[in-house]
């Protein structure tokens, strides 16, 4: 075991050197393959007791590969905050009938799409990607937001395109359509590509704060938790307020901690002024 650990450390050092010195891609890939082999040596689990096996489906395999790439490539930092969505929820209740008439469902996620697009316009660094090969930052001047969806077959991330050009009712309808396709396994490759930012919501599962993994090659992802009524000190007294946990993970190679904090704080401030969202549609 100690020898294997030494081998792994040595290979990791070689891999780092190879990438820094721009060795041939085949050599770098060979080193990565050897690291993978050391990390996944076959274990005889059946020696310990009964086991069962099932083949990994395409979605799970793709998710596994993509998550590994994201985690190994991106130095993650996550910052947390809470937003008072009491007024936002009142706004949602007021307009949900219009969304239903258009075939949609006005959820907090649908409303956050519009808000996130505005935040990305104000903070373009979080709507970018790193081109390490050419030593460049690629800033995108379009706003395609992915929304993580839990399905029976695994995690998929359909993309809502041109979020900044659509109103909340249109976004709510499109989100319902994409969610239905995701559940039925009918999403096309185009509907899962081209995202510039991702939103993931675990609130429906009762989760508060969490640390979402950035969807490479994007540089940030926003996690929404379960909104809970809490006592908040306002105007010289405690008042019941609906508080939404927010978790922002970002790529620290491009986004500094202060940038991430300002972005998340901008979102919190915007959530707590829902009239601005209503005026934007």
Residue numbers annotated as active site: 252
| Euclidean distance between CA atoms 16 and 25, whole angstroms | 13
Partner residues linked to 198 by β-bridges: 146, 221
| Euclidean distance between CA atoms 269 and 41, whole angstroms | 50
Is 213 within 8 Å of 163 (Cβ atoms)? no
Partner residues linked to 229 by β-bridges: 242
How many Cβ atoms sit within 10 Å of the Cβ of residue 281?
A: 11
| Euclidean distance between CA atoms 38 and 136, whole angstroms | 34
CA 196 to chain CA mean position, Å: 10
| Euclidean distance between CA atoms 41 and 44, whole angstroms | 10
User: Which residue, 220, 215, 213, 170, is CA-closest to 192?
Assistant: 215
Output DSSP code: residue 206: T
The number of CA neighbours under 13 Å toward the Cβ of 122 is 15
Q: How many angstroms separate the most distant Cα atoms in the chain?
A: 66
């Amino acid at each position: 075991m100690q020898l294997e650990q030494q081998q792994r450390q040595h290979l990791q050092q070689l891999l780092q050197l190879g990438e820094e010195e721009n060795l041939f891609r085949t050599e770098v890939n060979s080193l990565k393959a050897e690291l993978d082999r050391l990390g996944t040596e076959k274990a005889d689990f059946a020696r310990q007791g009964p086991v069962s096996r099932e083949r990994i489906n395409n979605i799970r395999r793709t998710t596994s590969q993509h998550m590994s790439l994201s985690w190994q490539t991106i130095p993650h930092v996550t910052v947390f905050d809470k937003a008072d969505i009491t007024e936002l929820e009142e706004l949602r209740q007021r307009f949900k009938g219009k969304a239903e008439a258009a075939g949609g469902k006005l959820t907090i996620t649908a409303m956050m799409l519009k808000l996130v697009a505005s935040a990305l316009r104000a903070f373009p660094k979080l709507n970018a990607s790193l081109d390490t090969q050419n030593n460049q930052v690629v800033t995108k001047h379009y706003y395609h937001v992915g929304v993580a969806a839990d399905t029976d077959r695994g995690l998929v991330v359909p993309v809502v395109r041109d979020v900044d050009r659509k109103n909340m009712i249109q976004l709510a309808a499109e989100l319902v359509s994409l969610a239905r396709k995701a559940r039925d396994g009918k999403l096309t490759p185009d509907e899962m590509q081209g995202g510039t930012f991702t939103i993931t919501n675990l609130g429906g599962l009762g989760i508060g704060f969490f640390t979402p993994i950035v969807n490479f090659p994007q540089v940030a992802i926003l996690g929404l938790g379960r909104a809970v009524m809490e006592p908040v000190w306002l105007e010289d007294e405690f008042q019941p307020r609906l508080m939404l946990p927010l978790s922002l993970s970002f790529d620290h190679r491009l986004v500094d901690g202060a940038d991430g904090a300002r972005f998340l704080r901008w979102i919190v401030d915007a959530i707590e002024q829902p009239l601005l969202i209503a005026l934007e549609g």
